[in-house]
């Protein structure tokens, strides 16, 4: 019983660490994976390098996105390069901020 009392603070720290650090990170990773798996052509996205565009083609893990207004401006990125899906209002708001600079 005395040996268990010595390990009790360590066990409590491990349990608190799990609930405060590991569990939220796992939930966030699951949410991100669901978002990446749901990407389809037509989605408006922001990449991790802050490039805004529209997905035009999905080929496995590679996405073709159209950036800018010209249809000829297309780039291929890996699915993991997507930071988030954005709405049309966010997309036009970001463009207006860049123009104002």
pLDDT of res. 69: 74
Query: Which sequence spans correspond to the domains of the chain?
Result: 1-38, 40-101
pLDDT of res. 88: 76
Pick the CATH number of 40-101 from 3.40.50.880, 3.90.1150.10, 2.30.30.30, 2.170.150.20: 2.30.30.30
In the predicted structure, residue 49 carries a pLDDT above the cut 70: yes
pTM score, whole prediction: 0.70
Arithmetic mean of pLDDT, 27-31: 95
Arithmetic mean of pLDDT, 41-45: 93
> How much is the CA Rg of the chain, to the nearest whole Å?
21
In the predicted structure, residue 85 carries a pLDDT above the cut 90: yes
3 state SS for 15-26: HHHHHHHHHHHH
pLDDT of res. 98: 56
What average pLDDT does the structure give for the chain?
Answer: 86
Output the DSSP codes for 33-61: HHHHHT--TT-EEEETT--EEEEEEEETT
């Amino acid at each position: 019983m005395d040996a268990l009392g010595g390990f009790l603070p360590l066990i409590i720290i491990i349990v608190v660490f799990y609930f405060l650090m590991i569990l939220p990170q796992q939930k966030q990773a699951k949410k991100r994976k669901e978002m990446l798996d749901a990407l389809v052509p037509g989605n408006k996205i922001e990449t991790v390098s802050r490039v805004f565009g529209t997905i035009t083609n999905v080929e496995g893990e590679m996405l073709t996105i159209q950036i800018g207004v010209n249809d000829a401006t297309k780039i291929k990125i890996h699915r993991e390069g997507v930071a988030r899906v954005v709405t049309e209002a966010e997309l036009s708001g970001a463009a207006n901020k860049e123009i104002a600079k």
